[in-house]
Amino acid sequence: MRRILVTSALPYANGHIHIGHLVEYLQTDIWVRFQKLRGQRCVYICADDTHGTAIMIRARQEELGEEELIARMKRAHIDDFAGFDIEFDHYGSTNSQATREVCEEIWTALRKAGLIDEREVTQLYDAQAGTFLADRFVKGTCLKCNAPNQYGDSCDKCGAHYSPTDLIDPVSTLSNTKPEIRTADHLFVNIEKLHGFLDQWTQGEKHLQPEVANYLKGHFLCEPLRDWDVSRPAPYFGFEIPDSPGNYWYVWFDAPIGYIGSTVEWCQKHDERFDDWWRSPETEIHHFIGKDIIYFHTLFWPTMLKAAGFNLPEKVHIHGFLTVGGEKMSKSKGTFILASTFLDHLDPSYLRYYYASKLTARMDDIDLNFEEFVAKVNADMVGNIVNLASRTARFAGQTGLSAEYPDDGGLFAKAAADGQAIAEAYESGDFARAIRIIMAAGDRANQYVEQQAPWKLAKDPTKTDRLRDVCTVGLNLFRQLAVYLAPVLPRLARQTGELLGDPIVSWDQSQTPLLGIVVNKFEHMMRRVDPRQVEAMVAASAEPAEDDSPPESIPFDNDAPLLAEPLAETIGFDEFAKVDLRVARVLSAEDVPGAKKLLKLTLGLGGDNRLNVFAGIKGVYKPEELVGRLVICAANLTPRKMKFGTSDGMIVAAGGGGGEVYLLAPDHGAKPGQRVH
RNA sequence: GGGCCCGUAGCUCAGCGGUUAGAGCAGGGGACUCAUAAUCCCUUGGUCGCAGGUUCGAUCCCUGCCGGGCCUACCA
């Protein structure tokens, strides 16, 4: 029996679980359930990741203590996971005594190994907020291309990289004040000293998927590894470093240590010896993570474990991101779906199955396509698998199952033999392959039922024995598949156990038919999905950007605007069609010296097509908040000479003028140059 | 700029140095009526991104190009 410790990446206590997170937790949960079903000793450990600047800031914004914030979020996370049948053996927190102690232990080991260096670091400091600023909390003008409103580390206009201290006119996004430059002593882990070890660990012995190993080789390991800054000066929400008062461990130092800290708690609760799990050649550690945190888990983390004498991971399983409908999840499109919203509308088994049918051992992104989602749930799960039980269990309710397994033309034996390939697929993380094999077996079983036509046998009183045999085959083929699917569909496994009075607890149950038993009353095991449920879920998730979300109820609007500006006279379509309105992107916006109301805008219609437009919106919009956004412009107006230059068109806005100007904007997805019809 | 990965039927994907390249869904036709309008049978559909090379033989290996995605460390 193998001894396996499995982790998923710790969810950050700054937000709720969404369907993107669930790719990982479901993938891990399925793998863990598979191991347990196979009889392995397997423990699934996770925890909330609770430290860092973002938590500190959020707690401040919500006027909560950090402890209260992370406690609330942990409860929410646990509920979400439970709702999807994700079963941890222990769910802890990085903000725990156990994690603190392991941090200290690893820190001491790193010191002892001479891997810690101390160096001065210059950083921006927000005096008003009283904190050093991480890069993403600073905005300013790019020193290379002068693009305004760029984050602290790099410019997304020209791609330049720089230090936030080099930004022109830096502004803290926390307080909108100008930060000052301060220096502080930081502590670094000199991981270059373990370069040789990392080369060997990442490139040999299959601890990583080949594409990950290649990526690391071509990206990090081909040059000296840079030191890793693991300390942050106060104020910081985290653990203070014992031998460096006033400094705290950076959140990414203690996050993976949370795996160990959480294991310590589990050991205490279950009277297990800690060393059996993290300091034993008998134990395999398996981490499941997303491709966004590769280097923490494949470079820094092995370094820490190696230095402190803990087990190294047997394997780091890395998955890609989730897209929805081929695009990034989007709040405004309603595809940023929270776990809790999903559960409000749909059965968690649907997502478990859908993800399983798409997940492979590679770190490819997977796409959630709603049409396919509905098709797979209805065709595979209900139409194929559950249907097997549905179409035979009722007949079998009268007769029970035969005492001996009838001749089924080798179907049971074939599916039993498939177990090997299915198990290998699960083991390697290629759940999609496992599902394909299972579905093919389901197809064969449905063909069998079709050929035997139990509904005809049922009408002939002399064929009761034959009917019982056919149902015995049908239900056993179904049960076999329920066993194979048990890691993915624990509820279906439980229901199958109840139907046949024999709980599914072991993979081996797929190898022997169940005979001579009574079949309980059949009840629906899984509902078909109605596409309208999916639509409702998307609608409930839609949260248009900014503040123009649809109100709960339709508000009453008075007629003042219409009175102020009555409808114009009726025109024909032809006249309307003469106006060529286009989507345009504001490429630049600047004050016009001497003008009271005008801003000078350069509008891009895609490619090199540009319009210069003077717009009377000064004082309502600031130039910097216009740059980059999409507007609608009248593009075929005769150019008009104005005092400050020629205007090639107009941008379209609502409002009665004065301070009331509301620029119109297309919904997300519109492209510059598209005509408005 | 550099790196990693991908490009196979309308869609999602299998496959793989060797007979006529597969599945599911979608489309077309038929059967059945036990089952959650489920199931079964038949069927339409592909110059395996493009161009070279290696080979007796390439969708599969190599090179180049085109197209797409992601990453590019003291942000996560």
Report which of A478, A482, A459 is spatially closest to residue A398, judged by C-alpha positions.
A459
List the A18 CA – B16 C1' distance (angstroms): 38
Q: How many CB atoms lie within 10 A of CB A537?
A: 22
DSSP label at residue A621? B
Burial class of residue A270 in the structure, from the number of CB atoms within 10 Å of its CB (0-12 exposed, 13-18 middle, 19+ buried): exposed
- Structural contact between residues A634 and A579, judged by C-beta atoms closer than 8 angstroms: yes
Between CA A432 and C1' B47 the distance (Å) reads 30
pLDDT of residue A545: 45
For residue A1, give the H/E element and its range. none
Dist. CA A609–CA A18, nearest whole Å: 40
Report how far Cα A195 is from the mean position of its chain's Cα atoms: 31
Nucleotide nearest to A388 (CA to C1'): B35
Identify the residue whose Cα has the smallest distance to the C1' of B15: A433
The three-point CA angle A36-A37-A39 to 5° equals 65
Collect the ranges in chain A with pLDDT lower than 50: 545-550
- The whole-number Å distance from A369's CA to B12's C1' is 9
Cβ-Cβ contacts under 8 Å for A401 (sequence gap 6 or more):
A468, A471, A472, A475, A476, A514, A515, A516, A517, A519
Check residue A312 and give its pLDDT.
Answer: 94
Position A327 scores a pLDDT of 78
Protein residue minimizing CA–C1' distance to B5: A211
pLDDT at A635: 84
How far apart (Å, rounded) are the C-alpha atoms in residues A348 and A329?
19
> For residue A454, which nucleotide's C1' is closest to its Cα?
B34
Nearest in space to A487 (alpha carbons), one of A513, A510, A515:
A510
In angstroms, the CA of A342 and the C1' of B68 are apart by 30
- Tell me the CA–C1' distance in angstroms for A354 and B34: 28
Q: What is the C-alpha to C-alpha distance for residues A355 and A103, in angstroms, rounded to an integer?
A: 35
At residue A79, the 3 state secondary structure works out as helix
Q: Measured in angstroms, what separates residue A19's CA from nucleotide B48's C1'?
A: 33
What's the CA gap between A185 and A32, in Å, rounded?
Answer: 43
Name the residue with the least CA to C1' distance from nucleotide B31: A450
Distances (CA, A) of A561 to A394, A564, A654, A658: 66, 5, 11, 14
pLDDT digits (tens, 9 = 90+) for A499-557: 999 999 999 999 999 999 999 999 999 999 998 999 899 888 886 544 444 455 565 56
Q: How many residues does this entry show for chain A?
A: 677
Give which of A110, A83, A69 is closest to A21, Cα–Cα. A83
| Nucleotide closest to A222 measured between CA and C1' | B3
Distance measured from the CA of protein residue A361 to the C1' of nucleotide B63, in angstroms? 29
The predicted pLDDT at position A657 comes to 54
Q: Which nucleotide is nearest to A451 (CA to C1')?
A: B40
CA A227/CA A188 separation, integer angstroms: 6
Angstrom distance, A323 CA to B48 C1': 26
Q: How far is A643 from A209, CA to CA, in rounded Å?
A: 65
Which contiguous run of DSSP H or E holds residue A475? helix A464-485
Nearest Cα neighbor of A106 from A303, A393, A392 is A303
- Which nucleotide comes closest to A52 if you measure CA to C1'? B76
Q: What is the ipTM of this complex?
A: 0.89
Whole-Å CA distances, A324 to A88, A365, A484, A572: 27, 10, 28, 41
Q: HEC profile for A80-91?
A: HHHHCCCCCCEE
Closest residue to B11 (CA, C1′): A372
Strand order in the sheet with A150-151: A150-151, A138-141, A168-172
Provide the β-strand partners of residue A506.
Answer: none
Run of H or E including A412: helix A411-428
Q: Look at residue A54 in the predicted model and tell me its pLDDT.
A: 84
Distance CA A349, CA A306 (A): 39
Token digits for A646? 């020629």
Nucleotide whose C1' lies closest to the alpha carbon of residue A151: B75
Q: Residue A393, class by beta-carbon neighbours within 10 Å (0-12 exposed, 13-18 middle, 19+ buried)? A: buried
In this prediction, residue A549 carries a pLDDT of 46
Q: Å from A439 (CA) to B6 (C1')?
A: 27
Strands of A127-201 (E only): list them. 131-132, 138-141, 150-151, 168-172, 180-189
SS3 category, A641: strand
Torsion sign (Cα): A65, A66, A68, A73: positive
- As a whole number of angstroms, the longest Cα–Cα distance in chain A is 102
Q: How far is the CA of A214 from the C1' of B64 (A)?
A: 22
Protein-contacted bases of chain B (C-beta within 7 A): 2-6, 11-15, 23-26, 32-36, 38-41, 69-76
